[in-house]
Structure 1
Amino acid sequence: MNATAVEQHEVLVLGAGYAGLSATMQLAARTRKRGDLRVTLVNPYDTFTERLRLHMTATGQDTTEMHIPVLLESTGAGFVRGWVTAIDAEEKTVRIDDDRVLRYDTLVYSMGSIADTVSVPGVDDHAYTLNSPQDAALFADRLTRAAGGTVVVGGSGLTGIEAAAEIAERHPELQVVLLGRQEPGTGMHPKAKAHLDAALARLGVRVLSGVEVAKVLPDSVEFADGTNIQATAVLWTSGTRVSPMAAAAGLHVDERGRVITDSALRSVSHPDVYAVGDAAAIRQGYGVMHGTCQSGMPTGVHAALSILRVLAGKEPKPFRFGYYHTPVSLGRNDAVVQFTHPDDRPRRIVLTGKRAAKYKETVTAAPWPTFARMKKMPASGAFWPRGGRYTRIRSAK
């Protein structure tokens, strides 16, 4: 007579960004020899989006394609391709676009964020974004047909800076305008900001700061003071928004729609739901974390370990994270790296030029060897964040 089958605890991970993939691989690697837990990753695409390289895709540069099923090979994790259309937090089900319904016991919500194209009129209709490789490729195609015109990059944050520099370097025939409410590099040490400003000037990027965009039109950008600038193409990088799915499911969210978590990254309203990466409002001693790969991967790892501690009848440990650096590429052979205090305040230590470009590339490529090590690691080990960096430590039991 066959032995009674072991009842499996179903963990669904929604979203295969840096945080979601980290949670999936950490959970699967630590439970691959167990028969009582099954991990399934749900994502609209079967390729991983390297958000740190989308400004390269947007200028027509080839980047390596990472297939999620290949990354998950030998981990024991399952993969479902599909768009999430609804979450029923009471019934513990997720519906995807082909009307399949997936059941879960524990949910990891990691659906990320996209560019905010709804706050300013005309952006959704007339501007390009870096929301996906497909969107970036559309913009790259538009650049090849710009015929010496003016390209406006809306948003002077890090994504806007990297995109403007990349466009100017790859397309010297175009006039690139970077605009935003603040100057590029605001918050950096003066040495880092000076290098950033000089690099943008060298590349011919025109910077317009202290401006507020009122409307994006088919061939121009209109400012709140009534003035405007002609634009052959507009790339929008200003602000982000998250999926309304969490709020619609009844999870407690903040004013931006991010899931509010406790110290272990559980939803404060639904403790069987963990929120990680950009989709979560994670509070630390210095305030709510902002979304980056640097912080996203550690949240995924911590959520995985918290889930395992709860299933073992133990209390999960509080998540603690400190920032370490802000690397910003300025084309392929230049960059600035601002090292930071754990609360993201700038330190005096700054790296610039080719050494900084090499450092930035190392950081950008870092997730792949980390994921590879996760696949092979023994169940007693974990890649754990300390001061914004990854350190291999023994599991806290």
Structure 2
Amino acid sequence: MNECDPSGGSEKEKEAARPRKIIHIDMDAFYASVEQRDNPELRGRPVAVGGARERGVVAAASYEARKFGVRSAMPSVTARRKCPELVFVKPRFDVYRQASMQIRAIFAEYTPLIEPLALDEAYLDVTDNLKGISSATEIAREIRAKIRAATGLTASAGVSYNKFLAKIASDYRKPDGLFVITPKMGPAFVETLEVGRFHGVGPATREKMKRLGIETGLDLKAQTLEFLHGRFGKAGAYYYWIARGVDARPVRANRIRKSIGAESTFFEDLSTYKAARAALAPIVEKVWRAIENGSVRGRTVTLKVKYSDFRQITRARTCEAPVSSLQAFEEAAFSLLGPVFPVEKGIRLLGVSLSSLSEEKAKTEAQLKLEI
């Protein structure tokens, strides 16, 4: 087995001997769907959750809005331009969290191996499940039906033998869909996909791959491990194996993380501090929600900036004590952003993370405003 294989030969041997049964559940336009559920006047209309003001950002868009090209993280003014009939709704995170708790309670009926990615999506390992159901597809059907009955919302599910393919499958027949990728069809299925659909390949990486002549899974599979490692660093090994339908990452329940962060690539480059600050605020808030949902606090705030020419910089600040509130987190992030300006090139991506984590229970409840 190749020494550069990041997953470990033993793990892939186990996968080959006994394929795992992984489900990825992804709620359909979660925040917007909750708003449409609770307000009949919004049903069938293009809805954006977020701020309608000039500096606002779309946190979520209904499928009716997506038909006009409205997407999350899009500036509200851009969204309004694309869809003049767009209805903006203020986010209600307490309601979204309540619905998310109902959904996770349903997951827990089937397996303790649940890895939440956000309020609206999670991986489940049902290889050995609490109900002794042999078919992961049947479990996915039951979960989707229970979610609809309990919350009035629809969920899409992907079923496969690893996390990478399960996530791709959940997006394949959205909304309200179920798709299965079996071990037999997995490798060939990956070959047909455009690399931009791969989890872990963002807009910048997709463009870099395109410049290298890599546009599909088959193109990616044709590259050597050495080539991908040389062009993409540690991620190269991951790309090498997923191009072959191989992903040995386990579903990790309550995993301990070294850092928690988020980033967003923008439809239009940012050139002013005002615009960048407005775009960074919801990213900061997203990270803080992940922090306050756990039992950790961090001391080091790191800002990531990627320019239109793909040049990237990071700036970090370590606080004397763990960051204890959203306001303090915002102030630290904004203090790192200010010195970046003025800029010679537009900013295409901003990210922020909190690291130097310690297991310390949250002592304050932050007021949430917006999420990407």
How would you bin the TM-score normalised by the shorter chain? under 0.3
- When the two structures are superposed, what TM-score results if normalisation uses the length of structure 1? 0.24
Could you say which structure has the higher helix fraction?
A: 2
- When the two structures are superposed, what TM-score results if normalisation uses the length of structure 2? 0.26
